[in-house]
């Protein structure tokens, strides 16, 4: 069986992945808060953990892997969006509008992620479906001395009651207080204590509890859902590195205190953040966009996915239009090569690269080597395990349009160069351009009146980029 090595944030090193039960490999990834469209940064963990999911299914078998990714559908941002709708005249109670907004946004999210080639996880729980398990866990934490009610409808977790707090982020509690914006409140025994349950007004979503009508804090949601669906111990917990503290740190504290018999998650994986044209994505810089913005701008989902996979998941990733354009051309070239070939065995080099902490850039270099060696079946199998075999008619049309644009430009350039050469009697520039076109697999037809360029066998639009 293939050995998979993963960088475990908790251990701060790569480790050989050894599942608790090879017949029941379990992974939990923190999903979105469903108040708006997913932006490109939200898509990166989806694509990263989709590749890991595919790898685990390949190694252990599709029936032996369970992937859970949640939806946070109770949150202040969702409430604010629903309130804005109500103030704009939308019909229904505020609670009904919250539910409506959540349903709408979940559907958007799933459609956008599917467009990126991401498989649906095996289970996609909503926080609002697990309120009772959350209440039960909070009651248990209070009984064990790890949490306390404030008498005004809040329940807080006592951070100092868990001696290993800070192990994931590698910082002491004092360091965290100094380096983070910690909410100081009269109802806290300690500044680092965090909310497990809070009151809810009559018009907002809320549930009856021993502490009054209210709703859960963010962190308890994932602890309760993962325990209910995967048990007190499971294999992998993933998410963006922005969740490492406080969300994942708080999850660990709650879960290990509520279920000391378990280990919670054994391997912690975190992906780095995303930039756009070398800058942090933000609305103030005008470089903020959603996945749907890109899809509607005619960036096919497979191209977006391919750009994301060209950078290792633990390194900052930079989205650029140049990367998207070259990705479209390379995927088009591979699609053109497909012909009647079917996927064969996944090349050993691709498996080795993915098994080495999801080294997708190295896996892509192996795909390019398959192309050079003419191993089309291996190329197709490698693309498939990376979720890159979703070219549809719309994407193929875009590829053809892109190819036509550059060929039309180079046709005019060659024609003009030839006309100039006829005057100077120096045809070296014509010969050089014609040779470069031929080496890129372009069929060149020249007449006195015109130049025609068409893709031929082995056409590679990427080789034409330097001729513009």
Distances (CA, A) of 93 to 26, 33, 205: 39, 21, 10
247 annotated as ligand-binding:
yes
Cβ atoms 455, 403 nearer than 8 A: yes
Of 332, 342, 354, 352, the closest CA to residue 379 belongs to 342
**Calpha distance 317→295 (Å, rounded):** 19
Cβ atoms 281, 288 nearer than 8 A: yes
222 annotated as ligand-binding:
yes
**Calpha distance 210→149 (Å, rounded):** 10
Distances (CA, A) of 391 to 16, 112, 169, 415: 34, 15, 40, 34
Q: What is the largest CA-CA distance in the chain?
A: 95
Tell me the sheet residues that pair with 29: 69, 238
**Calpha distance 381→387 (Å, rounded):** 10
251 annotated as ligand-binding:
yes
Residue with token string 């979105």: 32
Cβ atoms 56, 27 nearer than 8 A: yes
* Percent helix, strand and coil across the chain, each to the nearest 5: 50, 15, 35
**Calpha distance 325→402 (Å, rounded):** 9
Query: Strand pairing of 147-149 and 155-157?
Result: antiparallel
279 annotated as ligand-binding:
no
Distance of CA 337 to the CA centre of its chain: 28
Non-local (6+) Cβ contacts of 91 within 8 A are none
Beta strands in 158-257 (DSSP E): 194-199, 214-216, 233-240
Residue with token string 């505020």: 94
198 annotated as ligand-binding:
no
Q: From the CB of residue 202, how many other CB atoms can be counted at a distance below 10 Å?
A: 8
Enumerate the known binding-site residues. Answer: 30, 222, 247, 251, 283
Enumerate the known binding-site residues for ATP. Answer: 283
Enumerate the known binding-site residues for Zn(2+). Answer: 30, 222, 247, 251
């Amino acid at each position: 069986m293939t050995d998979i090595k993963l960088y475990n944030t908790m251990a701060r090193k790569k480790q050989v992945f050894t599942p608790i039960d090879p017949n029941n490999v379990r992974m939990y990834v923190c999903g979105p808060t469903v108040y708006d469209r997913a932006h490109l940064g939200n898509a990166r963990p989806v694509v990263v953990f989709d590749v890991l999911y595919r790898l685990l299914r390949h190694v252990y078998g599709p029936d032996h892997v369970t992937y859970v990714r949640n939806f946070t559908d109770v949150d202040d941002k969702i409430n604010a969006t629903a309130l804005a709708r109500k103030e704009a005249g939308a019909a229904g109670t505020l609670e009904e509008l919250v539910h409506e907004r959540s349903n709408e946004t979940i559907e958007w999210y799933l459609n956008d992620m599917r467009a990126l080639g991401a498989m649906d996880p095996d289970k996609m729980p909503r926080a609002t479906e697990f309120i009772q398990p959350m209440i039960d866990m909070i009651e248990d934490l209070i009984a064990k001395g790890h949490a306390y009610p404030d008498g005004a409808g809040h329940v807080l977790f006592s951070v100092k009651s868990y001696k290993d707090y800070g192990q994931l982020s590698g910082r002491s509690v004092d360091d965290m207080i100094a380096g983070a914006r910690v909410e100081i409140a009269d109802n806290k025994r300690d500044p680092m204590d965090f909310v497990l349950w809070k009151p809810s007004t009559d018009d907002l979503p809320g549930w009856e509890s021993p502490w009054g009508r209210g709703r859960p804090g963010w962190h308890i949601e994932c602890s309760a859902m993962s325990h209910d669906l995967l048990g007190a111990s499971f294999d992998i917990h993933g998410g963006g590195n922005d969740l490492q503290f406080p969300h994942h740190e708080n999850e660990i504290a709650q879960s290990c205190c509520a279920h000391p018999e378990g280990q919670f998650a054994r391997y912690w994986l975190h992906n780095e953040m995303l930039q756009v044209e070398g800058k942090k994505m933000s609305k103030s810089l005008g470089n903020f966009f959603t996945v749907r913005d890109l899809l509607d701008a005619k960036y096919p989902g497979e191209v977006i996915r391919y750009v994301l996979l060209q950078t290792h998941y633990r390194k900052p990733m930079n989205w650029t239009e140049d990367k998207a354009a070259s990705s479209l051309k390379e995927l088009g070239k591979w699609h053109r090569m497909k012909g009647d070939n079917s996927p064969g065995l996944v090349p050993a080099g691709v498996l080795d690269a993915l098994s080495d902490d999801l080294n997708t850039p190295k896996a892509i270099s192996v795909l390019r080597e398959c192309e050079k060696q003419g191993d089309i079946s291996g190329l197709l199998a490698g693309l498939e395990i990376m979720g890159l075999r979703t070219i549809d008619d719309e994407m193929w049309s875009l590829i053809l349009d892109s190819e036509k644009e550059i060929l039309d430009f180079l046709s005019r350039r060659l024609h003009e160069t030839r006309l100039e050469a006829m005057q100077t009697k120096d045809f070296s520039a014509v010969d050089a351009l014609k040779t470069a076109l031929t080496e890129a697999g372009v069929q060149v037809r020249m007449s006195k009146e015109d130049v025609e360029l068409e893709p031929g066998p082995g056409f590679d639009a990427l080789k034409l980029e330097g001729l513009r």
